[in-house]
Homo-oligomer: A and B are copies of this chain.
């Protein structure tokens, strides 16, 4: 089993055929042509069986998610996705499994206008690394560094659904038939907030995507921007499915620490706040103001309305005990 055989057999025409791909799969490397005046944006994500996904995961869900979570990183930077590389480590070649995985990977890549341009296949414990490459107009990228005191903090979509979905798959919680499909969809098939990321280039002072959970992730943003943050947990956007499936305290814990939301967290200066609703209206994805940036560098303050909110964070521990 060499790179040549597996990548050629399952991924030779994976994703969108792009005219700016000068050389794709099958050589020592890919050759890619950037648009004039654009910078390259590169993100890397690894998923390990047993840590990031169940070893018996549906290969279609895995193929989708590997692409979507990488594209989510590009979205958080305001970039337009273009190319993917896939490094697969597999214990054996299972034709049916690989065909289903490749079909979902390719379909999702195509959805996001991405082409698979290379990779490597090796034998060993099941591990996937995707490197996504995109383009952003020179100087217009969104980063974690630009949040300023007084900026408003926003998130897209709803939080905690994927965390609930994980615990549903683990048999730790029950979810009514009415909400099951939605919750599993949110866990297995996340959507990268790509159009919103690009729209935010002109208004957001900082942005990142939520992968570990709001409580952890906002601290990375605070660290890079050298600021603090105050969040009102009563404003956290929770889906009806989440609210119907658990008590308030569990719902908030999932929204804060459940992880895998793949929503965008971003900050907007007061001067640009009024533009936001108009700008984002076409995308049909709710955005919610959940707090403000403070000058207390490194300090995360949680409130419930006007009260302090006591919260004991338990990190996102993947599938470990």
Contacts and interface: CB of A to CB of B under 8 A. Distances in A.
Interface string A1-40: 0101000000000000000001100111111111010011
B212 A29 contact: no
Contacts of A36: 36
A199 to B, nearest CB: 17
Interface in A19-69: 22-23, 26-34, 36, 39-52
Number of copies: 2
A69 B51 CA distance: 28
A44 B33 CA distance: 18
Contacts of A284: none
A129 B123 contact: no
A314 to B, nearest CB: 14
A26 B77 CA distance: 13
B31 A43 contact: no
Contacts of A131: 42, 44, 85, 131
A212 B136 contact: no
Contacts of A182: none
B41 A31 contact: yes
Interface in A121-147: 122-125, 127, 129, 131-134, 136, 138, 141, 143-145
A160 interface: no
Given A44-B120, A48-B124, A31 B87 contact: no
